[in-house]
Amino acid sequence: MINLTQELYKFVSTNLSVTSSVERTGKGKGVADCHILGIDLDPVLIVRAEEANKFTSNVTYKCVNYMSDSENTISLYLKQQNRNYFDCIFCFSVTMWIHLNYGDEGLKQFLISVSVQTNLVVIEPQPWKCYRSAVRRMKRSGGNFPKFGNLKMRELVSDIENIFLNECNFIRIEKGNPSTDWGRQILFFKKVS
């Protein structure tokens, strides 16, 4: 999360010309006034991310459980930015954790909630084989994922795509070929306007 967010900020702020932001700030064309909120459930990760943050005016990290953002951290951040929604939400390697902890319905609610907060989603679903390893690791450490046995969605790429298409009014605009050792697909969805 740390490196990804920092690199994303560098890329967007130097390479993209975001017309609306340029207009809002009055900065010269080609300089995107990009603001990024990076969230994670793990407070240790957030402290590390804050320590490594080279762009403190534009990149903010917050410890949030996306599934129960009781302090409304995300909507408060948007309000501070004078925005009602994000330009883009990135969900890398997180769907499995939401799914294992909150079940099929939780994953669906997560995707719907993401779709309400943005027009564009970049998402990297973990495939089913990763679930088995995560459950094994959890068992070895003495814990368990009680919802695992009841999960019906197991073709994660198509299941997630179906939710975006059928429940969120989004269309898939790109599907990256797995080109890393990870072998994971990155999917891009856009709100149908």
Ligand X SMILES: C[S@@+](CC[C@H](N)C(=O)[O-])C[C@H]1O[C@@H](n2cnc3c(N)ncnc32)[C@H](O)[C@@H]1O
Which residues are near ligand X by CB under 6 A? 1, 4, 39-42, 45, 64-67, 92-94, 97-98
Measured from the CB atom, the residue of 45 and 78 that comes closer to ligand X is 45
Measured from the CB atom, the residue of 45 and 138 that comes closer to ligand X is 45
Counting Cα atoms < 13 Å in the Cβ hemisphere of 77 gives 20
Length in residues, the chain: 193
Rounded CA gap, 147 and 17, in Å? Answer: 44
Rounded CA gap, 61 and 55, in Å? Answer: 11
Q: Give least dist CB 182 to ligand X, A.
A: 10
**What stretches of 16-127 show up as alpha helix (H) in DSSP?**
19-25, 43-51, 73-80, 95-116
Q: Give least dist CB 150 to ligand X, A.
A: 18
Measured from the CB atom, the residue of 28 and 51 that comes closer to ligand X is 51
Q: Give least dist CB 23 to ligand X, A.
A: 31
Measured from the CB atom, the residue of 21 and 126 that comes closer to ligand X is 126
**Number of neighbouring beta carbons within 10 Å of residue 57:** 7
Q: Is 152 exposed, middle or buried (0-12, 13-18, 19+ CB in 10 A)?
A: exposed
3-state secondary structure of 127: coil
**What stretches of 125-172 show up as alpha helix (H) in DSSP?**
128-140, 156-167
Q: Give least dist CB 24 to ligand X, A.
A: 28
Q: Give least dist CB 67 to ligand X, A.
A: 4
Measured from the CB atom, the residue of 17 and 72 that comes closer to ligand X is 72
Q: Give least dist CB 97 to ligand X, A.
A: 4
Measured from the CB atom, the residue of 124 and 159 that comes closer to ligand X is 124
Rounded CA gap, 184 and 163, in Å? Answer: 19
Q: Tell me the residue nearest to ligand X as measured from the CB.
A: 92
Secondary-structure percent of the chain, ordered helix, strand, coil, rounded to 5: 45, 20, 35
